[in-house]
């Protein structure tokens, strides 16, 4: 087995049987094409030859909506890799003498394995997606994401100065999040919430890591929701661990207490990160963030009293039903926190809402006014000494294109790489492909209709009855539940 790094130009033998990529962020998608090109492997699945490797992909982006990347991949693994990946490799061993097409047909019948070339998107005469169907009745009509429910413990296996985090031992504390914030892929796509055992999992993993480094990272969508998280921290606060340095990902504000802040400070943490999403109580109800203003203030006070130097807050703009008054509420809340905790350095990370597949907000488009609202927050808060770090609005638009499109987007991804990968480059490539006759681009095995208007992908709220590019892929919750959650959120508008 070989692991490739995107910043190195290593080559593997073209004769390898398998070539895989895991995608965690939409904007990393075009890297797949660069990697294939470096290995002299054809970009398009339908043009690969018998002895080319089988190109497979997995990870959250491809599990949520793989369709824009479908024409580049032979196999997509949907869900947790613990069982799925070894299963896939074992089956590939058994069928390695079969023809390429027969290998794909066998794999298509394995739960969680999606073979895009064996599914055909059907469109109305207006170019609307009306179904994605298997090419024959031996192929399942839908594919269910696989969920691993046994031991989920994963931690760093290699600590090397050449990795992105050169000297830190990462440990997964929890998987998924039970909070169900309506926009959140990390919760909805990965349900159910699972925790690692303290005695048999986390403590041995910490001890193993400390043999290689004194830096520990505790990871998970919501680490402090682990029922024994405080026990883990108390254990790490022992004198024998005086030289370790601890980092944790963002925490739920309601779980913060002064003991937690004190231990984190003692173990080298300078800051605490909490996601408030919005300063508006109504908006927090809309997104199902069960967090009162008082709980936010308490978390800030505990961080301050515990001796932490910084509080990082995360907020989002452009959420469904958001109004000007909600933006003002965010500005006011941050200013109140500043007043309450003088001396605590405040940072506000701001992102724009991007719709994600398999969440209740998957039908909502991005709000064009989000760009202006980000500027409004910056203008009000920076002069007050609050550091505001906005995520690029252009990136959010590109993420939306990738998270909501179907496989007609693939020629755009192929065109837009390298210097073209700015928002302007994406828009230009999208329009060029849209204006060309896709049939003549020779990129697709079958002719597909024109791409939809870009505005429809970016900004429109879609009807709940619309066939989605991922309708044939089963996430943890059925569409009826997602609609229910969406409706519950939207009725908060009235309260
Ligand atoms: S608390 Fe955080 S991780 Fe959990 S659902 Fe909400 S946004 Fe997602």
Measure CA 211 to chain center.
31
Which residues on neighbouring strands pair with residue 129, listed in sequence order?
123
Q: What is the largest CA-CA distance in the chain?
A: 71
Ligand 1 atom at minimal distance to the Cα of residue 188: 5
Mutate to test the pocket of ligand 1, among 173, 178, 219, 221 (most ligand atoms within 8 A of CB): 221
CA of 484 to the centre of ligand 1 (A): 18
pLDDT digits (tens, 9 = 90+) for 358-389: 999 999 999 999 999 999 999 999 999 999 99
Helix (H, G, I), strand (E, B) or coil at 71: helix
CA of 182 to the centre of ligand 1 (A): 9
pLDDT band at 440, cuts 50/70/90?
very low
pLDDT band at 476, cuts 50/70/90?
very high
Q: Which of 427, 382, 396 is CA-nearest to residue 409?
A: 427
- 169-395 classified as CATH 3.40.50.720: no
How many H helices and E strands in the chain? 17, 17
What is the torsion angle, in degrees rounded to the nearest 10, for the CA atoms of residue 282, residue 284, residue 290 and residue 294?
Answer: -80
Q: What is the residue with the minimal CA distance to atom 8 of ligand 1?
A: 184
CA of 245 to the centre of ligand 1 (A): 25
Higher local confidence (pLDDT), 177 or 9: 177
CA of 162 to the centre of ligand 1 (A): 31
Indicate if the pLDDT at residue 141 is higher than 60: yes
Query: How large is the average pLDDT for residues 311-331?
Result: 97
CA of 207 to the centre of ligand 1 (A): 29
Q: Cβ distance 349 to 334 under 8 Å?
A: no
pTM listed for this prediction: 0.94
Whole-number average pLDDT of the chain: 92
Cα-only R_g, the chain = 24
Domain extents in the chain: 1-149+406-450, 169-395
Residue at token pair 């046994």: 150
Mutate to test the pocket of ligand 1, among 172, 176, 186 (most ligand atoms within 8 A of CB): 186
Indicate if the pLDDT at residue 65 is higher than 50: yes
Measure CA 182 to chain center.
14
Query: How large is the average pLDDT for residues 11-34?
Result: 84
What size, in residues, is the chain? 495
């Amino acid at each position: 087995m070989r692991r490739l790094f995107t910043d190195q130009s290593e080559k593997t033998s073209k004769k390898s049987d398998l070539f895989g990529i895991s995608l965690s962020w939409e904007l990393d998608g075009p890297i797949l094409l660069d990697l294939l090109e470096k290995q002299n492997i054809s970009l398009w699945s339908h043009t690969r030859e018998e002895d080319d490797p089988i190109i497979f992909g997995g990870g959250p982006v491809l599990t949520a909506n793989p369709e824009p990347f479908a024409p580049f991949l032979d196999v997509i693994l949907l869900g947790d890799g613990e069982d799925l990946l070894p299963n896939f490799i074992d089956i590939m061993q058994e069928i390695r003498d079969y023809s390429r097409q027969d290998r794909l047909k066998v794999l298509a019948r394995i739960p969680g394995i999606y073979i895009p070339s064996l599914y055909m998107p059907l469109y109305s005469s207006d170019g609307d997606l009306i179904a994605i169907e298997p090419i024959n009745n031996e192929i399942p009509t839908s594919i269910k994401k696989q969920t691993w429910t046994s031991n989920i413990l994963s931690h760093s296996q290699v600590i090397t100065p050449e990795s992105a985090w050169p000297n830190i031992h990462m440990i997964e504390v929890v998987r998924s999040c039970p909070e169900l914030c309506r926009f959140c892929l990390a919760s909805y796509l990965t349900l159910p919430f699972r925790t690692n055992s303290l005695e048999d999992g986390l403590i041995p993993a910490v001890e193993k890591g400390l043999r290689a480094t004194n830096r520990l990272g505790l990871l998970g969508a919501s680490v402090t929701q682990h029922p024994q998280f405080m026990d883990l921290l108390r254990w790490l606060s022992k004198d024998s661990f005086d030289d370790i340095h601890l980092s944790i990902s963002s925490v739920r504000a309601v779980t913060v207490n002064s003991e937690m802040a004190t231990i984190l400070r003692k173990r080298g943490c300078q800051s605490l990160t909490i996601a408030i999403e919005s300063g508006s109580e109504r908006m927090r109800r809309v997104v199902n963030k069960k967090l009162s203003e008082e709980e936010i203030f308490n978390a800030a006070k505990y961080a301050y009293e515990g001796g932490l130097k910084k509080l990082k807050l995360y907020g989002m703009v452009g959420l469904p039903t958001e109004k000007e008054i909600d933006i003002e509420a965010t500005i006011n809340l941050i200013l109140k926190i500043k007043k309450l905790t003088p001396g605590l350095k405040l940072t506000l990370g701001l992102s724009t809402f991007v719709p994600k597949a398999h969440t209740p907000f998957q039908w909502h488009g991005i709000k064009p006014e989000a760009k202006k609202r980000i500027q409004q927050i910056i203008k009000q808060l920076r002069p007050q000494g609050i550091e505001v770090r906005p995520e690029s609005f252009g990136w959010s638009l590109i993420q939306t294109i990738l998270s909501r499109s179907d496989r007609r987007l693939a020629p755009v991804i192929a065109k837009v790489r390298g210097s073209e990968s700015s928002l302007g480059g994406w828009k230009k490539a999208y329009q060029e492909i849209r204006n060309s006759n896709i049939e003549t681009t020779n990129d697709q095995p079958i002719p597909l209709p024109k791409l939809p208007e870009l505005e429809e992908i970016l900004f429109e709220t879609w009807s709940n009855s619309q066939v989605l590019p991922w309708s044939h892929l089963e996430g943890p919750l059925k569409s009826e539940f997602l609609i229910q959650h969406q409706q519950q959120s939207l009725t908060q508008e009235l309260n």
